[in-house]
Amino acid sequence: MHDIRKALKAALTDIGIDGDISFSPVPNPEIGDLAFPCFSLAKVRQSSPADIALSLATDLSQKDIPFVLNIQAAGPYVNFFLDPQAIATHLFSHITSSYGSHKTGKGERFVVEYGCPNPMKAFHLGHLKNLITGESVCRVFSNVGREVIRVNYQGDVGMHIAKSLWGIFDWIDEFHAYKEKPLQERVEFLGRAYAHGAQHFEKGVKEKEDVVLYNEKVYTKDASIQEVYDLARSWSLSYFDTIYSKLGSCFDRLYFESEVFERGVALVSEGLEKGIFTKSDGAVIYEGSKHDLHDRVFLNSKGFPTYEAKDLALAEMHFADFSPHKVVHVVGKEQTEYFKVVFSALSQLVPQTTGKEYHLPGGYLQLKGDKKMSSRLGNIITGDALIFEVEKKVREIMSGDLDRAYSEDVLQKVSTSALKYAMLKSDVSQDVAFDMETSVSTSGESGPYLLYIVARINSILRKAGDVSSISDSVEEITVEEKQLLLKLSRYPDVTLAAAAIPYDPSKISRYLFDLAQSFNAFYHVCPVLQAKDADVRLFRLTLIKAISHVMTHGLALLGIETVEEM
RNA sequence: GCACCCGUAGUUCAACUGGAUAGAGCGUCUGGCUUCGGACCAGAAGGUUGUAGGUUCGAGUCCUGCCGGGUGCACCA
């Protein structure tokens, strides 16, 4: 579509139109495929948009414009009818393995921070959605040529760790007994220990002090807790690794709060001297209120760094380690105001970060409907529990198909597609109401539906045998085929748009669903293998091969692998 | 109390960034088809885009007020 628009723009420039030339979609294919609205010209030319459209259409009709079959003025619009044959020829010669990839981001290095669970705590639903979103964003970035560094920042110090440690030490014999048990059980123990500590913390002033003591022990690296701390931390991290690998993520660098808190203190002290921070009630704060934001505490009155201070040091490390062009924080949208304040302070403290820090706000994940599932999962619904439930459901559905036995690989891929597509189908900042039935269903807007389309196409291609030769010319192109050609030609624009601010993989998921629907419309009207004419058969095989390629490519950007059969 | 985000079909979401008759999935109703893969398809019903104004050729989209929701605002992460 980019090439098509370029040709149209050139033609318009040729007849004296300057400035921003943009096109708009046409509501109905019967009146055209692409429109040029003439409203903005009306002011300059002191004439009605309709008159201008008419005169432009006449002028343009004199010219031979690539991809254009016919031009008509329709009210204030100049409508272009595109030539499906020319598009097919152009498209089929361009659909190679790199169709939809770009080099526009070449030379740019993006650090993407996502995942970010807290060691010794559960990997909950929010983390799951975040991981899936972040991974997709990384792929979308790589696809335009950017170098992507995947980083994961995890809180291995702080009050939540103190709570866990208090709980563990209160149950220390049990802790030692768990050393021999499977990872899953060890992690579940940690979860209980955390809850135990958190409860204790809430009981009263004295109990609170018990827990705070552990916080200080962690910060001062007290020898009495070190062995237990290290072990519990490593259990958690191994457990997170199993989830990352299951969902196809692999981090280049894990950052921990324990490695930034000291530097955080130093940076804030430095900033205090420079007048960037001020003292207030014994704490050190950044007066965001002077910059249309709100005030935040960076060092508490005991001199310990808050999350804010640690984030400053982390940012400094990002830049020291990778000199990124952009650091994208994939984090829940409730942190929006927080990031504004931190970025503002950071910009003054570490000027090279200015304009390079970006918060990508994610929506919340809520489970919808299914009461059975909610109760089975209990109050604490973890991310891996949801993964398990999806797998179980998919297995249930697929084992109902007695004609076929499915491999574990296929079951896994279908499950993953269900989960990931559900997370990525709407805008990143939109909350996701996860519905099990619609997510695993093969009809409707779901991952399995898209995989099914690809499997069908691949099945047809297998039956067709060798389709290495392509055909781009045919006597007549049907309306369904034309729609597919137009949609396929849009794909590179879509991948480019997804990689631009606001970064959003859902642009791709929506496109793929739309393409799949157009394929279905085509498929039920146009026979492929049984096409009467050999030319038509080859043309359609080439067409569906192109669709399969784009679908596979696009799904990969979402982190979804396709299957040959399902 | 202040700030930010959001109100679109019964429901879950779109709407190419201000353009033509606001579109899809699910659900509902009607019909088709026993397979180039039926885990299917077609058609229909369903809307005063929360509300009242304003801006202009033109508003779901921009501005203001109100109503309703979410989130964040000092030593948690």
In tens, the pLDDT along A473-517 reads 777 888 888 889 999 999 999 999 999 999 999 999 999 999 999
pLDDT at A402: 60
| Chain center to CA of A262 | 33
Nucleotide closest to residue A118 (CA–C1'): B77
In tens, the pLDDT along A302-351 reads 898 999 999 999 999 999 999 999 999 999 999 999 999 999 999 999 99
DSSP assignment string, A27-70? S-GGG-SEEEE-HHHHHHHTS-HHHHHHHHHHHHHTS--TTEEE
**Does nucleic acid strand B have an atom less than 7 angstroms from the CB of A480?**
no
Average pLDDT over residues A279-299: 93
- Can you give the three-state secondary structure of A116-152, one letter per residue? CCCCCCCCEHHHHHHHHHHHHHHHHHHHCCCEEEEEE
How many Cβ atoms are within 10 Å of A202's Cβ, its own excluded?
11
Average pLDDT over residues A450-468: 85
Q: Which residue is nearest to nucleotide B23 (CA to C1')?
A: A27
Q: Is a pLDDT exceeding 80 seen at residue A20?
A: no
In tens, the pLDDT along A512-541 reads 999 999 998 888 888 888 887 888 888 898
Helices of type H across A221-370: 223-246, 261-274, 307-322, 336-349
Residue A109 identity: R
Which tokens hold the place of A469?
A: 């030769």
Amino acid A509 CA to nucleotide B39 C1' distance, rounded Å = 20
Helix (H) or strand (E) holding A284: strand A283-286
Q: Which residue has the higher pLDDT, A63 or A377?
A: A63
Say which residue the tokens 């300059």 belong to.
Answer: A44
Average pLDDT over residues A126-148: 97
Nucleotide closest to residue A296 (CA–C1'): B74
Nucleotide closest to residue A452 (CA–C1'): B39
**Does nucleic acid strand B have an atom less than 7 angstroms from the CB of A478?**
no
Rg value, chain A, Cα: 28
**Does nucleic acid strand B have an atom less than 7 angstroms from the CB of A296?**
yes
Taking alpha carbons only, the member of A427, A436, A426 closest to residue A387 is A436
**Three-state secondary-structure class, residue A475:** coil
Nucleotide closest to residue A25 (CA–C1'): B16
Taking alpha carbons only, the member of A509, A514, A336 closest to residue A420 is A509
Q: How far is CA A467 from CA A257, A471, A516, A544, in A?
A: 55, 10, 21, 11
pLDDT at A142: 97
Indicate where chain A has its CATH 1.10.730.10 domain(s). 381-557
pLDDT at A41: 84
Amino acid A350 CA to nucleotide B25 C1' distance, rounded Å = 47
Strand B close residues, chain A 500-539, CB < 7 angstroms:
502, 506, 510, 513, 517, 520-521, 523-524, 526-530
Q: Which residue is nearest to nucleotide B35 (CA to C1')?
A: A524
Q: How confident is the model at residue A369 (pLDDT cuts 50, 70, 90)?
A: low
**Does nucleic acid strand B have an atom less than 7 angstroms from the CB of A399?**
no
Nucleotide closest to residue A458 (CA–C1'): B37
Q: Is a pLDDT exceeding 80 seen at residue A433?
A: yes
Q: What is the mean pLDDT of chain A?
A: 90
Indicate where chain A has its CATH 3.30.1360.70 domain(s). 2-82
Distance CA A203, CA A80 (A): 72
Q: Identify the CATH number of the domain defined by range A2-82.
A: 3.30.1360.70
Amino acid A424 CA to nucleotide B30 C1' distance, rounded Å = 34
Q: Is a pLDDT exceeding 70 seen at residue A1?
A: no
- Which positions of chain B lie under 7 Å from any protein Cβ? 3-5, 12-17, 19-21, 23-26, 36-42, 57-58, 71-77
Top CATH class of A381-557 equals mainly alpha
**Does nucleic acid strand B have an atom less than 7 angstroms from the CB of A282?**
yes
pLDDT at A525: 84
**Does nucleic acid strand B have an atom less than 7 angstroms from the CB of A77?**
yes
**Does nucleic acid strand B have an atom less than 7 angstroms from the CB of A442?**
yes
- The pTM score is 0.94
Distance CA A510, CA A548 (A): 16
Amino acid A204 CA to nucleotide B33 C1' distance, rounded Å = 70
Q: Which residue has the higher pLDDT, A91 or A402?
A: A91
**Does nucleic acid strand B have an atom less than 7 angstroms from the CB of A54?**
no
Give the single-character DSSP code of A382: B
Distance CA A67, CA A50 (A): 24
Q: Residue A151: beta bridge partners?
A: A113, A253
Amino acid A42 CA to nucleotide B54 C1' distance, rounded Å = 24
Q: Is a pLDDT exceeding 50 seen at residue A234?
A: yes
Q: Which residue has the higher pLDDT, A425 or A473?
A: A425
On whether the CB atoms of residues A279 and A299 are closer than 8 A, the answer is: no
Helix (H) or strand (E) holding A543: helix A534-557
| Percent of residues, chain A, with pLDDT higher than 70 | 95
In tens, the pLDDT along A188-208 reads 999 889 989 988 988 888 888
**Does nucleic acid strand B have an atom less than 7 angstroms from the CB of A28?**
yes
